[in-house]
């Protein structure tokens, strides 16, 4: 089996605020002007690197806004986020939890710091991904997957090297709980200093690793520190990781969706006529109602 080589190690782009509750580094598609298909089916990666929010009575966050044509996946490392949407779903995610919202034909939602966390303040660290949907599913019914830390199975690595928590896909026979519309592998790999892990993905899959904590060496040659994103070439299958200190990695790999992309604002469609239709439907109240 041949090695999947590193294409580039990307430093975190300059952060910007989303609402007043999320200070994010957008690695793609905008941060490095990547093609909108370069990490397909993952369209967007916003990374809120670890920061401390001071205590505040009124929770920070993002008010009511629409989405259509894709899924939002929020992964919590520190802090707590509350969510409501116009399909009637709501919940709170804290450390180790995942919120997987399929906007599909359209929802309104809002997300903000959970009330108790907001009143106490403290460290906050999150990832939000936008996962594209194939054309045949873009107008399907919205759905919501609340994936708690306790519901994410973990594979114990040999030699007490750490563990791989499987959110979606399958690692060494351990199946993740998330339902996906296309083949996706998504893991939180937690490696102890000196520990090693091996990953194998089809060479056609778009693959990247976000170093959430620690410092690692990839394929015995390439160093990657915390808050950096490793983009891999679409050649070879095997990746080896060695942790130079205790490390947490978000591992992403997926089969590309080879369809046109028309993205504008909160909508991710196949044509700009569909984007215009989404705006029209939103303006005519067809996404439901959600109080701000």
CA atoms within 13 A on the CB side of 11: 1
264 within some domain:
no
290 within some domain:
no
199 within some domain:
yes
Residues 6+ apart with CB under 8 A from 138: 68, 69, 70, 104, 105, 269, 270, 274
Q: Cα(81)–Cα(74) distance, rounded to whole angstroms?
A: 9
Q: Cα(129)–Cα(214) distance, rounded to whole angstroms?
A: 21
227 within some domain:
yes
68 within some domain:
yes
User: Do residues 125 and 79 make contact, with C-beta atoms less than 8 angstroms apart?
Assistant: yes
Task: Give φ, ψ of 63 to 5 degrees.
Answer: -70, -175
Query: For residue 1, what pLDDT is reported?
Result: 83
Q: Cα(125)–Cα(47) distance, rounded to whole angstroms?
A: 8
261 within some domain:
no
97 within some domain:
yes
134 within some domain:
yes
Query: For residue 292, what pLDDT is reported?
Result: 84
Query: For residue 115, what pLDDT is reported?
Result: 97
* Closest C-alpha among 106, 108, 98, 178 to residue 137: 106
**What is the extent of the structural domain holding 147?**
6-254
CATH (domain of 234) = 2.60.120.10
Q: What is the pLDDT of residues 79-115, one digit of tens each?
A: 999 999 999 999 999 999 999 999 999 999 999 999 9
Q: Cα(86)–Cα(187) distance, rounded to whole angstroms?
A: 29
pTM: 0.98
Q: For the chain, how many residues are written? A: 292
CA distances from 141 to 136, 144, 165 (A): 12, 10, 29
What are the average pLDDT values for consecutive 10-residue runs of the chain, which has 292 residues?
96 97 97 94 98 97 97 98 94 97 97 98 98 98 96 97 98 98 98 98 98 98 98 98 98 98 97 98 95 87
Total count of domains within the chain:
1
């Amino acid at each position: 089996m041949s090695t999947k080589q590193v294409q580039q190690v990307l430093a975190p782009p300059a952060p910007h605020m989303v609402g007043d509750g999320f200070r994010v580094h957008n690695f793609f598609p905008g941060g490095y002007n990547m093609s909108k298909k370069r990490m397909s089916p993952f369209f967007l990666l916003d990374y809120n690197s670890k920061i401390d929010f001071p205590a505040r009575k009124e929770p920070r966050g993002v008010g009511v806004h629409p989405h259509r044509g894709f899924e939002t996946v929020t992964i919590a490392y520190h802090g707590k986020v509350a969510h409501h949407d116009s399909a009637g779903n709501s919940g709170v995610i804290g450390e180790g939890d995942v919120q997987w919202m399929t906007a599909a034909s359209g929802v309104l939602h809002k997300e903000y710091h959970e009330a108790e966390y907001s009143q106490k303040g403290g460290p906050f660290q999150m990832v939000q991904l936008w996962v594209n949907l194939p054309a045949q599913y873009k107008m399907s019914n919205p759905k919501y997957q609340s994936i708690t830390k306790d519901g994410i199975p973990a594979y114990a690595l040999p030699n007490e090297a750490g563990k791989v928590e499987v959110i979606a896909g399958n690692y060494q026979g351990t199946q993740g709980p998330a339902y996906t519309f296309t083949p996706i592998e998504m893991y939180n790999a937690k490696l102890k200093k000196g520990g090693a892990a091996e990953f194998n993905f089809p060479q056609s899959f778009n693959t990247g690793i976000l170093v959430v904590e620690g410092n690692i060496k990839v394929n015995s040659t390439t160093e990657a520190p915390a808050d950096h994103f490793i983009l891999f070439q679409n050649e070879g299958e095997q990746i080896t990781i060695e942790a130079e200190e205790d490390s947490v990695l978000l591992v992403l790999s997926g089969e590309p969706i080879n369809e046109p992309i028309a993205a504008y604002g909160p909508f991710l469609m196949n044509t700009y006529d569909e984007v215009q239709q989404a705006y029209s439907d939103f303006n005519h109240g067809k996404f439901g109602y959600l109080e701000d």
